[in-house]
Amino acid sequence: MAQANAYPLSLQLISVSGAEKLSYLHGQVTQDLNLLTDDNFLWAGHCSPKGKLWATLRLSQLDDQYLLLGSKAETEASCRELKKYGVFAKVDIDITHHQVIGVLTDEMTETCELLGLTFAQHANACTFDGKNKALKLDDRRLILIVEHGYALPQGVALHTDPTPFEAASILAGEPQLSEASIDEYVPQMVNLQALGAISFKKGCYTGQETVARMRYLGKNKRALYIVKGQAEAHPQESELEIQLDGENWRRAGKVLHQAYDSVSQDYYALAVMANDLTESSVLRAKTHPEVQLTLLPLPYSLEDN
């Protein structure tokens, strides 16, 4: 029997609909919208004119609308900016009222059967129950985008603490911006190119010049890294430090997203740091220096996908 666990996620959705939704959104995000179908979801970045990220988003289609999934801070910033210019196009842009559920399973095929999900071959998204959307992140993780009132079937246990799912997303190297990191990073600094989120062939979009310069002129000196350590309580860290020699430490970078398992006392974080770090780098939490951190391998290449 499949062991499937579900977790309510504090993610939010923007809906973009209307006659000009494709042309409008295509000119706003780093992704090629022509590649989006009912059967897939795609990563994208939404940038300021200076090329700094307002949001890292998962894009999907449901009915006649595009859904942009991100953290609360990301979707509120992105929605605000999209609406600024949306008044000049035939589009409707709003935060939706969907519920977002993360599912962790050790048997994806059985869990999909339980949930009534049918993914086409090589697909990573599907519509179910006529009005809900499922995104397959990998062979262990699903995201369900459902209307309120949706009931999980028997065999899928609902938990209130989303830490296991958030830790799995961190270990997958998937960026998520908090309010403190909005409008701070160029897409390549949070590894969006590695997630296939940047099209270098699609033509103009907001912030494109900066993103292209990072690629073609080799200007990017930062990347997103996964770190793990042990802590007696959640460090709630904002910065990490790196050891130079002996007792000398200096700032290594900023924490983008973090999770803490109070049972195992494992602390997981994604941090933006210099892209020349090595496995032997010695790291610690800045305000909790007793929390030593290990660099974990990224599950993807940092080259453009």
> For the domain 221-305, what is the CATH code?
2.40.30.160
Structure tokens at 155: 């065999």
- Calpha distance 169→104 (Å, rounded): 11
- In sequence order, the 6+-apart residues with CB closer than 8 A to the CB of 40 are 60, 123, 124, 125
Instruction: Provide the terminal-to-terminal Cα distance of the chain, rounded to the nearest Å.
Output: 36
- Sorted by where each begins, the domain ranges of the chain are 4-160, 221-305
CATH superfamily of domain region 4-160: Probable tRNA modification gtpase trme; domain 1 (3.30.1360.120)
- In sequence order, the 6+-apart residues with CB closer than 8 A to the CB of 252 are 239, 240, 241, 242, 271, 273, 274, 277, 281, 283
What pLDDT, on the 0 to 100 scale, is given for residue 219? Answer: 79
Average pLDDT over residues 132-154: 96
Average pLDDT over residues 92-99: 96
pLDDT in tens, 151-204: 999 999 999 999 999 999 999 999 999 999 999 999 999 999 999 999 999 989
What pLDDT, on the 0 to 100 scale, is given for residue 271? Answer: 98
Q: How confident is the model at residue 91 (pLDDT cuts 50, 70, 90)?
A: very high
Does 2 score more than 70 pLDDT? no
Answer yes or no: same fold for 4-160 and 221-305: no
Mean confidence (pLDDT) of the chain: 95
